[in-house]
């Protein structure tokens, strides 16, 4: 029989793994609240911001839709709809290759770059509020531990996270 573990708040956990997972989930929820303030203030979701950031990394080039989808932090079910919204705001442009019309290329526009530049300070401040109380050594340890946690669960679409 699994021994129950009592956390600091007196709550019981079925296992150390459950306690760690629930703490990880709670931490995500706390950090996400700060993220939503910054991105929501710019009428962007975190996923849209991430897509713009990835597209800026290849600017002035472009990226295929499938490649972008694989590099996003969280895999959303509807990348097309997310890109539709960014395109409507003139933050990205999509083109089809003449040699293969099924392949869609996405590029960030100057307006998209301007929005990222405008957000840079508030995003930096957000990250400082989220994790600035940790030392550089603690941040490196945390990153290594999170990578270790993901290790057995990664698939080919998340390989870039190991860089």
The pLDDT tens digits of the residues spanning 10-53 come to 668 899 999 999 999 999 999 999 999 999 999 999 999 999 99
> Which of 63, 57, 138 has the alpha carbon at shortest distance from 105?
63
The pLDDT of residue 9? 60
Instruction: List pLDDT tens digits, range 122-143.
Output: 999 999 999 999 999 999 999 9
Compute the average pLDDT of residues 60-65: 93
Instruction: List pLDDT tens digits, range 92-115.
Output: 999 987 777 788 899 999 999 999
Q: Assess contact for 25 and 31: CB atoms under 8 A.
A: no
Token pair, residue 6, equals 């009592």
Phi, psi of 91 (to 5 degrees): -90, -20
The pLDDT of residue 1? 42
> Which of 97, 36, 109 has the alpha carbon at shortest distance from 66?
97
Strand partners, 63: 106
Domains of the chain plus CATH, in order, are 11-132 (1.10.10.10)
């Amino acid at each position: 029989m699994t021994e129950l573990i009592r956390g600091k708040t007196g709550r019981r956990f079925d296992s150390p793994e459950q306690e760690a997972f629930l703490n990880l989930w709670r931490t995500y929820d706390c950090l996400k609240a700060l993220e939503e303030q910054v991105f929501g203030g710019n009428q962007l979701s975190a996923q849209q911001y991430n897509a713009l950031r990835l597209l800026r990394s290849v600017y002035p080039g472009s990226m295929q839709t499938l490649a972008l989808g694989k590099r996003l932090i969280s895999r959303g079910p509807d990348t097309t709809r997310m890109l539709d919204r960014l395109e409507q705001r003139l933050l990205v442009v999509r083109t089809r290759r003449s040699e293969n019309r099924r392949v869609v290329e996405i590029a960030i526009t100057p307006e998209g770059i301007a929005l990222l530049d405008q957000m840079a300070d508030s995003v930096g401040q957000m990250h400082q509020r989220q994790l600035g109380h940790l030392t550089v050594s603690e941040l490196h340890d945390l990153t290594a531990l999170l990578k270790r946690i993901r290790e057995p669960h990664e698939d080919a679409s998340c390989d870039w996270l190991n860089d």
